[in-house]
Amino acid sequence: MAGLTPAETAAASTAYAEDAIAQRTDEVDPTSRRARHAAEPDDDAARRPTTTIPAPPAESDVPARPRAIGGTGEGGAFPVLAAAAAAVGFTALLFYQLAPLSGALGLVVVGYLSFLVFYTVLVSYENPGPAVRAKVASVIVPSLGFVLLAALVLVVGYVLIRGWESLKHLNFVTQDMSFAGPLDPLTVGGIVHAAIGTLEQIAICLAITIPAGIICAVFLSEFPGTFSRFVRTIVEAMTALPSIVAGLFVYLSYILIWGHWVETHLSERLQWLAPGKSGFAASLALSIMTLPIIVRAADVVLRLVPGHLREASYALGASHWRTVWQVVLPTARSGLATAVILGTARGIGETSPVLLTAGFAASVNLNPFSGPQVSLPLFTFDSVKSPEPSMVARGFGAGAALMLLVLLLFVLARVLGGRGPGNLSKRQLRRRMVASYRDARRFAERSRSRSVVPDSAPAPGGDSEERHV
């Protein structure tokens, strides 16, 4: 009962007493009743077990109310506002008069810490220790959450605002950089080559990872055993592979070693097999990086499919393959879509594997199998290294475009997925109800026609299976 104020204790016992009033027959004080029982031992009532009900406390006019469990709202927002005002004053004094400090960040940090101290002191006048701790916690915890969201808004907002400077020019999304040097103004040149590169690379990456990832996840969840456990362990280990190491692997094995082998061993006509730094090499690196992520996420989703759905399908005589294709995968569809889209969002924004494998080009290269092909993150990274302000602005523009692309993918993932298997939206639920209503009517009609004419010509519209039932 450490967290209770005296008033709260009284309120609790009042509620108890009010419950008790209904059962009470007389106003006798419990102690005197016990005394009477002791005095008359032969009474029939005395042998029966009795329940002693405590009398209501004298100060029972306190109204019953729910016990306070913490939160700043109780007692009004006054302590919060007062502490905030005190903190502002104290911080201003500290920063401009007593000990001249500098920096906006330091101002905020010192201001917040002093706010906490003032709030604790203010609250501790009226509350016992545990309530003070609860109140201080209910200030600190939301403000930590607020800091994280503020950081997100700051990052997204800053990049979008600085990117707008170049994104507002139409040529930025219709031209490439082949005629624009670093010194040219923003009205010349754009990022269309990088956008094409990003889309092509991620498309090839998805063409590799979606089939491989989903088949592997189906294997992991449908064929449990030592081998699939081993595969799962290795896949989990590979999620730890740093993305730059995936890039280094493709650079060394595909671009250098394989490229050298093709150059020395194969004829002129087969040289396309080793394009060197290219969009395809970049998508290989991205695939190696995203494959374990997608397999792992899809595996988790597939394992959530309820077992009774599977068993119902087997009980109806479906084969293993039919069960997977018509029960397991459709049930997990939204989760699988989310897994793939989140893996894509992760892959699309990765710079480090692309940095080693894609090369750098200033003009549109539609063919991912030949020649260097730049992508949005790589273009951003390369542009902001330049000392020219217009180039930095282009980098921010490309970063903002990339961010918008990721945002779009993310919204898509939320719209498609975000619900567990079997957890339907309103429209899906209505559609399913209409379907089962139709089925029920069909069954009813069929049984009616069968009972009226037991063995006549086949039922109207009936198919071959039901004839020999």
Residues 252-311 binding another protein (CB under 8 A) are 252-253, 256, 288, 291-292, 295
Residue 401 makes contact with another protein by CB under 8 A: no
Q: Which residue in the set 85, 140, 312, 433 belongs to the binding site for another protein (CB under 8 A)?
A: 140
Q: Which of residues 5-64 bind another protein (CB under 8 A)?
A: none
CB of residue 68 to another protein, shortest distance in Å: 8
Q: Measure the CA–CA gap between 80 and 86, rounded to whole angstroms.
A: 10
CB of residue 332 to another protein, shortest distance in Å: 15
Question: Whose Cβ is closer to another protein: residue 20's or residue 156's?
Answer: 156
Q: Which of residues 178-207 bind another protein (CB under 8 A)?
A: none
Question: Whose Cβ is closer to another protein: residue 374's or residue 403's?
Answer: 403
Q: Which amino acid is at 282?
A: A
> Is residue 190 within 8 Å of 176, Cβ to Cβ?
yes
Question: Whose Cβ is closer to another protein: residue 141's or residue 440's?
Answer: 141
Q: Which of residues 337-366 bind another protein (CB under 8 A)?
A: 342, 345-346, 348-352, 355-356
DSSP letters for 176-240: -STT--TTS-TTS--SHHHHHHHHHHHHHHHHHHHHHHHHHHHHHHHS-SHHHHHHHHHHHHHTT
- Closest-CA residue to 337 (of 222, 239, 424, 414): 414
Residue 238 makes contact with another protein by CB under 8 A: yes
Q: Measure the CA–CA gap between 45 and 398, rounded to whole angstroms.
A: 90
CB of residue 277 to another protein, shortest distance in Å: 10
CB of residue 466 to another protein, shortest distance in Å: 23
Unique residue bearing structure tokens 């951003």: 380
Report residue 270 as tokens.
Answer: 């087969």
CB of residue 461 to another protein, shortest distance in Å: 29
Q: Which residue in the set 167, 177, 210, 216 belongs to the binding site for another protein (CB under 8 A)?
A: 216
Q: Measure the CA–CA gap between 202 and 349, rounded to whole angstroms.
A: 10
Q: Measure the CA–CA gap between 240 and 238, rounded to whole angstroms.
A: 5
Q: What are phi and psi of 374, to 5 degrees?
A: -85, 155
CB of residue 110 to another protein, shortest distance in Å: 9
CB of residue 378 to another protein, shortest distance in Å: 8
> Is residue 186 within 8 Å of 165, Cβ to Cβ?
yes
Q: Measure the CA–CA gap between 332 and 298, rounded to whole angstroms.
A: 9
Residue 402 makes contact with another protein by CB under 8 A: yes
Site string for another protein, 410-429 (x = CB under 8 A): x---x---x-----------
Q: Which residue in the set 13, 60, 120, 138 belongs to the binding site for another protein (CB under 8 A)?
A: 138
Q: Which of residues 449-468 bind another protein (CB under 8 A)?
A: none
Q: Which amino acid is at 307?
A: G
> Is residue 352 within 8 Å of 241, Cβ to Cβ?
no
Would you put residue 76 in left (φ > 0), alpha (ψ -120 to 50) or beta? left
Q: Which stretch binds another protein (CB under 8 A): 20-28, 86-94, 168-176, 375-383?
A: 375-383
Q: Measure the CA–CA gap between 218 and 220, rounded to whole angstroms.
A: 5
- Closest-CA residue to 208 (of 284, 279, 296, 298): 284
Question: Whose Cβ is closer to another protein: residue 241's or residue 266's?
Answer: 241
Question: Whose Cβ is closer to another protein: residue 46's or residue 108's?
Answer: 108
Q: Which residue in the set 109, 113, 207, 435 belongs to the binding site for another protein (CB under 8 A)?
A: 109
Q: Which residue in the set 137, 266, 435, 440 belongs to the binding site for another protein (CB under 8 A)?
A: 137
Q: Which residue in the set 21, 39, 98, 144 belongs to the binding site for another protein (CB under 8 A)?
A: 144
Q: Measure the CA–CA gap between 88 and 346, rounded to whole angstroms.
A: 41
The count of residues interacting with another protein (CB under 8 A) is 106
CB of residue 260 to another protein, shortest distance in Å: 10
For 111, which DSSP code? H
Q: Please give the angle made by the CA atoms of 8, 14 and 18, to the nearest 5 degrees.
A: 150
Q: Measure the CA–CA gap between 277 and 274, rounded to whole angstroms.
A: 9
Q: Which residue in the set 202, 220, 301, 391 belongs to the binding site for another protein (CB under 8 A)?
A: 220
